[in-house]
Amino acid sequence: MDPAQIAADHPAARRLDRLDADGRYRLWLDQDAGLLPVLDTESGRAYRLAVTDPAAARLVAGLTRPVLERLAAPRYRARAEADRDIGALVNAFRVQLARLRAVHRDRAALTRAVRAQIGRAADEAQAVRRTAFLGWYLARTDDAGDAADLGHDPGGEDGSDAAIRDWYRYRERIRATVLPPQLSPQEIPRRRGPGEFHWFSDMRLLDGRTLTERQMLELRAELPYAHVEPDRVVLDEWSRPAEHPIFNRSDEIIAKYGFDVALNFIQWGLRGLWLRVPAALADRLAPYAGEYGLAVSARPAGDALLVRLNRQEEDGENSYERYDPRPWLDELLPLRDALVAGDLRAPYIAWRARETVFGRPRRGRPQPPVPPLLDEDELTEPLQALIRLLEEVP
């Protein structure tokens, strides 16, 4: 039996591709049926295990063990490796939750069982992983009844909000072990005086579009320290905010010259990603907009819409002095085409970062539509890069 036949027999099954990426087995999870279809690539044999079958538990545990060892003592060469292992852990969480659901049909009993898992942790490492499972579970359900069943006060510091933030922090600790490229002292743009901050802006035209000669001359006059090319403008310098030529003018300049994507980084803690998309997306993007310190905002830009995904962190001055923001936009470029195609995960991630990670979700405020495919085992590399940009350090 080949993977296509397994997919045909189990159309609702989810492929656990992060969990089985390095081994001989290929796994799917049919949660509704409580089955774990398995393909042994060496023998070509396919079989189905009930999620409650001890053999299924042994198989998943065997595949998860090397992942947990890497997560406990991470030594990653690239960010993608950390993202892969977090995704693999989420795959294991899914199987664990399916097993618990098969045993505990009642929702209250299920959430109590999740809580009991944490209480049975044999050591600190297990406690961290099982607490992470609780946070992941609550982040997916975000229901006050779950928090109460788990012994939490939803309105207090130990409520479901805190458990969800613990899950985000667990991810951040793992990813933080992968240091981004750092600038050598010789590469850091020179600070000319006190009170200055490092500014970096990268604005690009895509799809073969270029600036006119007149626009290039105008930009060189408006941004005297910028490197201006026909399809790209990069500004990398130290400046006082009031002296900086792009301060409070990023939206205006990006809209005026029709840039398709742009990244703005200011050392004191501000980061912004701009994506130029068709104006027809305005109604679908509106629910994700915030208030002060907008996570998502949009403004007309001719016949298009300029979408800004924003992060403001007040104490970023020392954290980012030596980090190099130059590679960031290349990782994020595919988000524009995905958003144009109707993938709303990027604005949702920006909304979530503002509402959940850097503040408490405001009770009574309507939540915007939740797009599908939001867990770590489903996110593309550009979306993982957006999470790092908006939720994590750096």
What pTM was computed for the model? 0.74
DSSP sequence for 105-122: -SHHHHHHHHHHHHHT--
From residue 316, how far is each of 155, 243, 248, 271 by CA, in Å?
29, 20, 18, 10
**201: which strand partners?**
235, 264
DSSP sequence for 178-221: SPPPB--TTTSPPP-STT-EEEEEEEE--TT----HHHHHHHHH
Cis peptide before 54 (omega within 30 of 0): no
Per-residue pLDDT of the chain (394 residues; tens, 9 = 90+): 567 777 778 888 888 988 887 778 889 999 888 999 998 888 888 889 999 999 999 999 899 988 888 888 888 888 788 888 998 999 998 898 888 888 887 777 877 787 777 677 667 777 777 778 877 877 766 544 444 444 444 444 445 667 777 787 788 788 877 766 565 655 655 655 666 777 889 999 999 999 999 999 999 988 888 899 999 999 887 777 666 667 678 888 998 899 999 998 877 767 889 999 998 898 898 888 765 444 566 677 778 888 989 877 655 555 556 667 888 899 999 999 999 999 999 999 888 877 665 554 555 567 788 898 888 788 898 998 898 888 775 5
Q: Check: CB of residue 2 under 8 Å from CB of residue 8.
A: no
Which strands make up the sheet holding 270-278, listed edge to edge? 227-229, 232-239, 197-204, 261-266, 270-278, 304-312, 296-301
